[in-house]
Chains A and B, each alone.
Chain A
Amino acid sequence: MMQNDISNTIHESSLLFSDYEAGAGVRAALSMSREDILFELKASKLKGRGGAGFPTSTKWMLVAAAKGDDKFIICNADEGEPGTFKDRVLLMNYPFLVLDGMVIGGYTVGAQHGYIYLRGEYVYMKEYLEECLQEMRDNKMLGENILGKEGFNFDISIVMGAGAYVCGEETALIESLEGQRGEPRNRPPYPVNTGLCGAPTTVNNVETLATVPHIILMGGEKYAEKGTSGSAGSKLFSVSGDCDRPGVYELDWGITINQLLERVGARNTKAVQVGGASGICVPKSKFDRTLAFEDAATGGSIMIFNESRSMLHVLKNFMDFFVEESCGQCTPCRLGNQKLLEGVEMIEQNAYTFAHINNLKELAQTMKVASKCGLGQSSPNPFLSILEDFRDEIFHTKINGGVN
């Protein structure tokens, strides 16, 4: 891993990026009952950090309550959302935090096996993570009767993805683990009941799992003291684009975009893409919005664009991405994204009519409700938000002969 010239730049840290003694969270958790762990998680109000924000305690409770001899816990390390790299930093700098979170999860829901689904692009981490797993096995943190706890058997294996963004969607990820094309399933049934090989399965983001040991150690209520009422605790933000100090920031939920921009040293900022390509583009006039599940939600991706950037170019880059990464299974997403990209190209070439653009906006709304999974449901977001908030730049300057 050392031969790669990757630097994991952490600018601000509070909880996740603090000292953690490997195994401490597991030791504390194994002295508690499963119900108590679920109670602490509920009190912490921890929501899924991948972006969807589903309450972790509810998910684990459903798997714990589901009937089945085999149960699985999956760590979703298919970090493919453009502009997101916090999981890379967590896995490389704090691997035991994530792995301990999986062990605690395995204990809580009654799983015997865990999988880390690592994106193909992160293959350089695999060897290091395997070493970490071996170290845990040597220390009786994995295997049979973990830390002497009678009947608690749990092990973890790493499975590599192969370059498909859609596999970050939990049911597509499960299909991929089963050796299928990574096409999302219909839901319901949900993975908590019918997941990997038909068994109850919880799929959690790397950051969610890394938070769990800290919650066990500090108590759920204490964790929930930070953040906002709807978004408890702190969050890792992957900041990139036009700013002086790109990197990962651990900040409390509820910070405004303005405050964030100041911290990262961004100047002349025109727009901030919150939540990656599938997120929303926030214009300058709305920089007082807060980063929280109840306002501008994000899985961590913050991309900053300054005044020199063409928003149409940004939009085209995103639509290109979605056309390529749509799994092609459902029509609204497969063809819808192609049509939206065509529309963007028409605008670029000044060959559009407003009637057509309005049709495309309606199509975008249709995609949001008719697509099968989160990819097609959210891929129209940048199209809608950029054409709406930057319509002066996109549609008017050209008429004046201006150049974007």
Chain B
Amino acid sequence: MLELEKNNLTREIEEFALAYENNRTALMPLLEYIQSKYHHIPDFAQQEVARVLDIHPVEVYGVVSFYSFLNDQPKGRNIVRLCKTIVCDMGGKCAIEKAIERELKMKFGETSPDMKITLEFTNCLGMCDQGPAMIVNDRVYTRLDPEKACAIVREIK
């Protein structure tokens, strides 16, 4: 990370926390903000968050490592999360999984080398009545079939 980027990040964190009077309740919203903007929460950001909220950096790391939507390692700019819970599974999740893997020449659990896409599984998205479902970033896609799913991931490739 460049010095300039670091300074920017520090300023953003300080401004964000100020709205919460630097109270610890700011932690989750703040981490979610960093995650959505930088696609992960780098060590430097964790340390700055800890300093601003006056808690130990390990406390911040503990929270980052707990939640599946927060990551300390860089992920793709687009995250594809395919639901693997039973009803979507019965609806044909495996066929979709295999088709996407062939389409993108990568496996679920991996990030593409150009950092464009990360493929992940997720638990129930609450779309069981219209599955199989997946979320690409914040957008939900339902009633998928292999062809439809591939068309969607091709757009972000």
User: Chain A: residues with CB nearer than 8 A to chain B?
Assistant: 3-7, 9, 79-85, 87-88, 119-124, 159-165, 176-183, 197, 238-242, 246-248, 273, 277, 303, 305, 309, 314, 317-318, 321, 324-325, 327
Query: Which A-chain residue is minimally distant from B142 (CB atoms)?
Result: A5
Which 5 pairs from chain A and chain B are nearest by CB? A179-B27, A240-B128, A162-B67, A246-B129, A163-B68
Chain A: minimal CB distance from B81 (Å):
8
Given A165-B123, A303-B128: A124 and B87 interface contact (C-beta under 8 Å): no
Are B86 and A247 interface neighbours, CB within 8 A? no
Q: Contact check: which of B28, B35, B128 meets A176 at CB < 8 Å? A: B28
Contact A82 B124 (CB under 8 A): yes
Partner of A321, one of B28, B35, B70, B85: B85
Residue among A79, A121, A122, A317 with the most chain B CB within 10 A? A121
- Contacts A181-B62, A241-B90, A314-B86 known; A163 to B69 CB distance under 8 Å? yes
Q: A82-B85, A160-B32, A239-B129 are in contact. Are A179 and B24 (CB under 8 A)?
A: yes
Q: Per-residue 0/1 for B102-140: is the Cβ within 8 Å of any A Cβ (1 yes, 0 no)?
A: 000000000000000000001111111111000100111
C-alpha gap A398/B154 in the complex (Å): 42
In the bound complex, do residue B67 and residue A240 qualify as a contact, i.e. CB atoms below 8 Å apart?
A: no
Q: 9 new A-B pairs (CB below 8 Å) besides A122-B126, A180-B63, A317-B84?
A: A5-B142, A7-B130, A9-B130, A80-B123, A85-B127, A162-B68, A179-B27, A240-B128, A324-B123
CA distance A238 to B33 in the complex (A): 32
Residues in A with CB closer than 8 Å to B86 are 82-83, 241, 273, 277, 303, 314, 317-318
Looking at the complex, which one of A6, A83, A87, A180 makes contact with B124 (CB distance below 8 Å)?
A: A83
Residues of A contacting B62 in the complex (Cβ-Cβ under 8 angstroms)? 181
- Which residues from chain A contact B70 at a C-beta distance below 8 Å? 162
Residues of chain B within 8 A (CB-CB) of A6 are 127, 130, 140, 142
- Which of A120, A159, A165, A321 counts the most chain B CB atoms within 10 A? A120
B100 to chain A, nearest CB (A): 18
CA distance A84 to B69 in the complex (A): 20
> Is A83 a contact partner of B32 (Cβ separation < 8 A)?
no
Hey, which chain A residues are within 8 Å of B126, CB to CB?
A: 79-80, 84-85, 87-88, 119, 121-122
Of A123, A179, A305, A327, the residue contacting B28 (CB under 8 A) is: A179
Minimum distance in angstroms from A174 CB to a CB of chain B: 11
Chain B nearest Cβ from A301, distance in angstroms: 8
Q: A159 and B28: CB pair below 8 A?
A: yes
Assuming A159-B28, A179-B28, is B129 touching A82 (CB within 8 A)? no
* B135 closest partner in A (C-beta): A121
Which single residue of chain A is at the shortest CB-CB distance from B124? Answer: A82
30 contacts between A and B (CB under 8 A): A4-B140, A5-B142, A5-B143, A7-B130, A80-B123, A82-B85, A82-B124, A83-B85, A84-B126, A84-B128, A85-B128, A121-B122, A123-B138, A124-B138, A159-B29, A162-B28, A162-B31, A162-B69, A162-B70, A163-B67, A163-B69, A179-B25, A182-B67, A240-B128, A241-B86, A277-B85, A277-B86, A303-B128, A318-B86, A321-B85
Provide the bound-state CA to CA distance between A84 and B124, in Å.
Answer: 8
Quick check: B24 and A178 within 8 Å, CB to CB?
Answer: yes
Cα separation A182 to B69 with both chains bound (whole Å): 13
Taking a contact as CB atoms under 8 Å apart, the answer to whether A317 and B85 are in contact is yes
CA distance A161 to B68 in the complex (A): 10
Instruction: Name the distance in Å between A251's Cβ and chain B's nearest Cβ.
Output: 16
Q: How far is the CB of B147 from chain A (nearest CB, A)?
A: 15
A160/B128 in contact, CB under 8 A: no
Chain A residues, Cβ within 8 Å of B131: 240
Q: Is the CB of B128 within 8 A of A82?
A: yes
Residue B16 CB within 8 A of the other chain: no
Instruction: Give the complex CA separation of A120 and B32 in angstroms.
Output: 10
Residues from chain A with Cβ under 8 Å of B130 in the complex:
6-7, 9, 246
CA distance A195 to B157 in the complex (A): 46
B99 at the binding interface (Cβ < 8 Å) = no
Given contacts A83-B87, A83-B128, A162-B69, contact A325 B141 (CB under 8 A): no
Tell me which residues across on chain B come within 8 A of A4, comparing CB atoms. Answer: 139-141
> Does chain A have a CB within 8 A of B89?
yes
| B residues in contact with A179, CB < 8 Å | 24-28, 53, 63
A238 touches B142 (CB 8 A): no
Distance in angstroms between the alpha carbons of A283 and B98 in the assembled complex: 32
Residues of A close to B68: CB separation below 8 A = 162-164
A81 neighbours in B (Cβ, 8 Å): 124
User: In the complex, how many angstroms separate the beta carbon of A282 from the nearest chain B beta carbon?
Assistant: 15
Identify the closest chain B residue to A309 (Cβ): B90
